[in-house]
Chain A
């Protein structure tokens, strides 16, 4: 894939960070607002796709390493299942952090309120794990699709 015009690249430079921050916002606020790990991860991965489209695959591959993303993906998944295993003293998937104070342990207020991020127990942690997994998995998929497109183009040219 070749680079696109300077206009597109400049706009990418401007919005790239915002998209990623918004994606992480959706991941972290998964237990309070619409969205969650999967949706936020998909938003972050869309920033990767934008980078790939505007800068072309050669430059993008310097920033996004497939091996690194693969490891991130496995560690996200492992983190998720380990969180589920930690509840095993009571039951699998038991929410052992909820309502005990400390990390994500506040009791949620009943009724209309602005929302407290420090609630939800293991749910926000699981959202982060899923977000990590989805953003790296979709990143790998986007990179693979780009190299697949290059491969077919080379074949057509030869």
Chain B
């Protein structure tokens, strides 16, 4: 048992990978077994992630070295720097891993009936598993080149999944192509930055680079390459053009997982700025750059969302806007990183708000996309003007939508309120104007979701949707699970912040812990 626990970081990634390769063979034998195998593999992954999270939060960061004599042997035979590829999972990594595990598991369950009418489901499930593997890898890896590989795996899988509904429809193909261009550019830029680090320090390990980084001219170029492309993959505003297309054209469960995939890029952005550079970079400048990305995303995202008529496109713009909150919270933390007094006073709280918002956003935005998928499943349209009166026939979906909408608008007692309050309070002490903008954006979000609720669910029963009834059980289960998490986080935010979010924030801030896990007492 203990031996299995030592291998948990790799098993979380390797079991979905094995399942992804087995699914085409399983599909040849039994078509029904494809979805069940996927759910089973992701279920094991989820269980292992929870076990690993408990271990990391009680013991400390875990390393896993591939192919070594023992999983924790980072420096074999007296070497000064690590040569093998390794996973390094700290509190922040496992925090993101939990999001990925929950979202992908529920996405697979939702797909069981939602994707029932499509062909080629063996490819769908294989790609879903590969996307999950890519996300887990990006969050767990301790090697910057390995990070690039997992980024590519996630990107290629998501491109195929976005355009899964068929190339003959045109729009899914266009969205997939757009995402392909964006992700190839970002992957190339990441590779270029990796090359810069390797040329300068002869190292590829995050921790080893972090221990020797000097913030030379070349390091500045690498940072200048990494920050915009990772923000682009996360969907921050000047580079957000792919988000509405990709999110609205992908099947609903995939959209939910894509939200988590873009958050994996966001995680990488924080990992690079905090764990790799930390205070060696001019924190105030870079912090403000991230804050400005955040402000633009918040404001432009929400104003674009208000005018949308397509329900998933509207939600996609809201996803951009909510990404802004995370960038704002963590950006404020980065801006005061070199100033211990301010960091203690409000910096850590701002980062807790930003990081907590990542998880909250994955849950409620996932729930909202799933309800949009449920509406699409029953009505066959995403146009809000054509829907109406669906609350009569789809009672559960209506309740889930209300929960999701209240959470995204930041109403108590849902989880969005908890993280937004942390952000407002702490950012106000940094710069009151930022906090006021954040509140205005939150009000606009509420306005826009009231509009959606009114046009999709309220009103008399429409004749064309007389046949519409509640969605099948597996879809309801996925939505109900997310709703339970949202309400739980909303009712006990203190519990989550203290036990899960605070360690994650501290593991970002305390760079020496991250490097020390790999390099020992260096």
Contacts and interface: CB of A to CB of B under 8 A. Distances in A.
Nearest to B24: A74
B124 to A, nearest CB: 15
Contacts of A80: 21
B70 A91 contact: yes
A77 B69 contact: no
Interface residues of B, number: 19
A71 interface: yes
B411 to A, nearest CB: 45
Given A81-B21, A94-B69, 4 more contacts: A70-B24, A74-B23, A74-B24, A88-B7
B192 interface: no
Contacts of A75: 25
Interface of A: 70-71, 73-75, 77-78, 80-82, 84-85, 87-88, 90-95
B14 A90 contact: no
B105 to A, nearest CB: 21
Given A78-B18, A84-B14, A91 B68 contact: yes
B66 A71 contact: no
B452 interface: no
Interface string B41-85: 000000000000000000000001111111100000000000000
Contacts of B23: 74
A92 B70 contact: no
Contacts of A84: 14
Contacts of B68: 91, 94
Closest 8 CB pairs of A and B: A77-B21, A74-B24, A93-B67, A92-B10, A93-B66, A78-B21, A74-B25, A81-B18
A73 B23 CA distance: 12
A81 B14 contact: yes
A75 B24 CA distance: 9
A85 B18 contact: yes
Interface centre among A77, A80, A90, A92 (most CB of B within 10 A): A92
24 contacts: A71-B25, A74-B22, A74-B24, A74-B25, A77-B21, A78-B18, A78-B21, A78-B22, A81-B18, A84-B14, A85-B18, A90-B70, A91-B7, A91-B10, A91-B65, A91-B68, A91-B70, A92-B7, A92-B14, A92-B64, A92-B66, A93-B66, A94-B67, A94-B68
Contacts of A78: 18, 21-22, 25
Contacts of B70: 90-91
Nearest to B65: A91
A73 B10 CA distance: 23
A25 B209 CA distance: 39
Contact of A74 (B10, B21, B69): B21
Contacts of A81: 14, 17-18, 21
B22 A91 contact: no
A132 B294 CA distance: 47
A85 B14 contact: yes
Contact of A91 (B18, B24, B67): B67
Nearest to A76: B21
Contacts of B25: 71, 74-75, 78
Contacts of B22: 74, 78
B64 A91 contact: yes
A84 B70 CA distance: 15
A128 to B, nearest CB: 16
B18 to A, nearest CB: 5
Nearest to A78: B21
Nearest to A80: B21
A71 B24 contact: yes
Interface in B398-417: none
Contacts of B69: 90-91, 94
B117 interface: no
A87 B17 CA distance: 16
Nearest to B17: A81
Interface centre among A74, A75, A77, A80 (most CB of B within 10 A): A74
Contacts of B65: 91
Contacts of A70: 24
B149 to A, nearest CB: 14
A131 to B, nearest CB: 16
A73 B67 CA distance: 25
Contacts of B21: 74, 77-78, 80-81
Contacts of B17: 81
B303 to A, nearest CB: 42
Contacts of A85: 14, 18
Nearest to B25: A74
A61 B160 CA distance: 26
Contacts of A93: 66-67
A77 B153 CA distance: 15
A82 B14 CA distance: 10
Contacts of B7: 88, 91-92
A87 B71 CA distance: 11
A80 B22 CA distance: 12
Contacts of B67: 87, 91-95
Nearest to A88: B7
B460 to A, nearest CB: 46
Interface in B1-46: 7, 10, 14, 17-18, 21-25, 28
Interface centre among B17, B21, B23 (most CB of A within 10 A): B21
Nearest to A73: B24
A121 to B, nearest CB: 10
A91 B28 contact: no
B317 to A, nearest CB: 35
B384 to A, nearest CB: 36
Contacts of A71: 24-25, 28
